[in-house]
Amino acid sequence: MNPSLELRAVRKTFGALVAVDEISLAAEPGTIFGLLGPNGAGKTTTIRMIMDILAPDSGEVRFFGAPRGADLLDRVGYLPEERGLYRRMTVVDHLAFFGELHGMQRRDSRRPIGEWLERVGLAEWGERRVEELSKGMQQKVQLVGTVLHDPDVIVLDEPFSGLDPINQGLFKDLLAEYKARGKTILFSTHVMEQAEKLCDRICLISKGRAVLSGELAAIKSEFGGRTYRVEASGDLERLEGIGGVGSVLRQDGSVRLVLEPDAEPSRVLAEMVGFLEVREFRSAEPELEEIFISAVRDAA
Amino acid sequence: MRPDRVRVVARREYLSRVKTKGFWLATIALPVFVVAVGVLPGLLISKTKISQRIVVVDAVGGLGERLVAELGEMESPLGDSTAGLVATLEAAAADATAQREALDRRVLDGEIDAWIWIDPEGLAANQVEYHAESVSNFLTQGLIERSISRAVRLHRLTAAGHDPAAIDELVRSVGLETVRVSPEGSRAEGAEAGIILAWVLFFLLYMMLVIYGQQVMIGVIEEKTSRIVEVIVSTTRPFELMMGKLCGICLVALTQLGIWLATLVAVTLPGVVSAMAWIPEGVTVPTVPLAVLVHFVLHFLFGFFLFSAIYAAIGSAFNNVQEAQQFASVLVVFLVAPIFLFWTVLNDPDSTVSVVTSLVPLFTPLLMLLRIAVKMPPAWQILLGYALTAAATWATIWVGARVYRIGILMYGKKPTLAELGRWIRYA
């Protein structure tokens, strides 16, 4: 099966700055794909190239197994990180306009708009102006605008930033529903916990480069053998100096270590005992955050 | 470019503007404003009565009687009533200073409104004194001045041994009957009427270009600051968005223009004109020839796209209206410059200056239209004007679209001119 969305060695520079450096990824139907990385890593630039808002210097963006064209973009729903609405339009008019921008006829959009407003609890607000709505309600309108034309691919840039808890739940339900319907979802976030709960596949970006990508479960099991939980007292700062230690993360009185791929756990422990009083040293389930930190180290 | 997307954007732009109260208020306000500014003051002044109690003191002798008589039969050119003007002659007293003080007191007490003092020294210098509490009643003073001049003239002619009545006949002034010659036939038309028509069309076009250009700019900034633009450009090319915006706002302007023209046509129907008693007799209301109207609309269209493409680019490049206004004022210079050439072109529409400036693309919409309104220029000049403006419009849309494409997604600091130049050069 062709991936619904594919990036092939996409690169973008702004002057001397390489914002995105030959990133490749592929998202299959029925999956949630997470584009992860800290702020400034190049996530938004990558998404803007996916949406044809920025032109890549080189590389290619493909939808449904074909080079991207304007008609294919109509089958994509996009929610940018910075989102806004026309304040003086009514909710229904605004949604109809979003539909038209994706090639929907006005008369065809009336029914789905009604159904969506019912679903998100804004049925009474259809004829009100956007400016009369609360911020949370406006977020719902933006979400409905993104999916109104029933897109096959949904691209969301930091969808959870600034959302109230109710809308976060609404978004998550929606993503699960679309995934179940065989649609493709790609979203970016800098909050690793969210990605951990939602994603099937991830691509970790740092300074414009993909440092790690693949299925989340596989990545976790690969890193599983390398993550250890340490309970010790003494000069914990020196842990980072031990050869073979990838990342050190302190957490509620204990320390989590991710070792480099070829490091020997017993050698690390032996060295540690030299300057620390170690009470416990055992294998642990890796967290995405740690994986990310050590992946960045590995890449450097 | 996908025309359906342009249409979708234009439709939204049009409806969201035409549906506002502001649009209808502005549409109604302009004709009301024109009537208020152009007609009402004249109406009010001409309906005021000239009522003054004037005392004339003649220290020369023989002149006072004449002046009182002249003031009595004075006629206002505006047809106002002069019935309230009462002039009385008082003899000059031996003590002029005391008499003048007494007269001043009478003015302050409200017994009389003004006094006129004629003495030999003043007369030799062609001066007569007028004393009143208010000296800003220029209409009344103008009438009194004319009466005095006549009285003095008659007085001097009589003194020189001429027959005043015969002289009066000989020096009667001559009026200019203005007849406008056009291919449709000649017809009498007041010179004022022709100037008013040219003036109205010229300023209407100027105003619409400035106001709607600014609306484009403000609309673009709104889209940018509300951050809605990124959702739109994900399905619509920036060029389609810009063209949709220009087309939508252009249609709003044409709608407004249509309403005004329909009103104008209704008002100038012969039945309506005769009903408007306030139009002074002898002034023909100029009718706007259809050809001029067509050229007006065409020049508006070219001018609108010519300037609004730049307004859109400016709006896209800046982050708020204040920043953009500063830059837009550079653009307004090109719109204001034709105003300085207004009288030059009006006075001699075929002079080299008029022809050349009316063919400069940024000036063509206003100046060529002015020439057309005054006297139809040769067809080749009109066509050349259109061709050059079309080329310039294409250029501003091309440049504007390139700046716009980058600008609408660029937040943060104000771009420098050099940066704007780079945006244009980006592929």
User: Is-contact A23 A46, C-beta < 8 A?
Assistant: yes
β-partners of residue A214 are A202
Q: pLDDT band at residue A239, thresholds of 50, 70 and 90?
A: confident
* Mean pLDDT computed over A194-215: 88
Share of chain B above pLDDT 70, in %: 85
Residues of B in Cβ contact (< 8 Å) with A73: 234-235
> Is the pLDDT score of A77 beyond 70?
yes
Of A73, A82, A84, the CB nearest to B235: A73
* Number of cross-chain residue pairs from A and B with Cβ atoms under 8 Å apart: 61
Q: Is A153 on the interface with B (CB under 8 A)?
A: no
Nearest CA in chain A to B237: A53
Distance between CA atoms of A185 and A27, rounded to whole angstroms? 8
SS3 B116: strand
Residues of A in Cβ contact (< 8 Å) with B409: 48, 53-54
* Mean pLDDT computed over A94-101: 93
Mean pLDDT, chain B, as a whole number?
A: 82
Verify whether the Cβ–Cβ distance A84 to B409 is below 8 Å. no
Q: Is A15 on the interface with B (CB under 8 A)?
A: no
Distance (Å) of CA A62 to CA A11, A52, B197: 14, 11, 60
Q: Chain A window 19-48: which residues touch B at a Cβ cutoff of 8 Å?
A: 48
Position with higher pLDDT, B82 vs B132: B132
Verify whether the Cβ–Cβ distance A73 to B8 is below 8 Å. no
Residue with tokens 């050698």: A267
- pLDDT, position B84: 67
Mean pLDDT, chain A, as a whole number?
A: 87
> Is the pLDDT score of B280 beyond 70?
no
> Is the pLDDT score of B277 beyond 80?
no
> Is the pLDDT score of A132 beyond 90?
yes
Nearest CA in chain A to B223: A86
User: Is-contact A79 A146, C-beta < 8 A?
Assistant: yes
- pLDDT, position A91: 95
CB-neighbour burial class of residue B251 (10 A; exposed 0-12, middle 13-18, buried 19+) = middle
Least confident of A68-77, B209-218, B382-391, B393-402: A68-77
Of B16, B228, B233, the CB nearest to A85: B228
**Distance in Å, alpha carbon of B421 to nearest chain A alpha carbon:** 15
ipTM given for this complex: 0.80
> Is the pLDDT score of B285 beyond 60?
no
The residue type found at A179 is K
Q: Where are the beta strands (DSSP E) in B362-413?
A: none
Verify whether the Cβ–Cβ distance B231 to A145 is below 8 Å. yes
User: Is-contact B317 B188, C-beta < 8 A?
Assistant: no
Q: Is B173 on the interface with A (CB under 8 A)?
A: no
- pLDDT, position B45: 58
* Residue closest to A219 by CA, chosen among A138, A127, A124, A286: A286
Of A80, A100, A142, the CB nearest to B8: A100
> Is the pLDDT score of B342 beyond 60?
yes
**Distance in Å, alpha carbon of B201 to nearest chain A alpha carbon:** 33
DSSP B283: P
pLDDT, tens only, B56-86 = 888 887 788 888 888 777 665 554 555 567 8
Residues of A in Cβ contact (< 8 Å) with B228: 83-86
Q: Chain B window 226-285: which residues touch A at a Cβ cutoff of 8 Å?
A: 226-228, 230-237
- pLDDT, position B11: 94
Residue with tokens 């004037």: B54
Q: Chain B window 20-39: which residues touch A at a Cβ cutoff of 8 Å?
A: 20
- pLDDT, position B357: 92
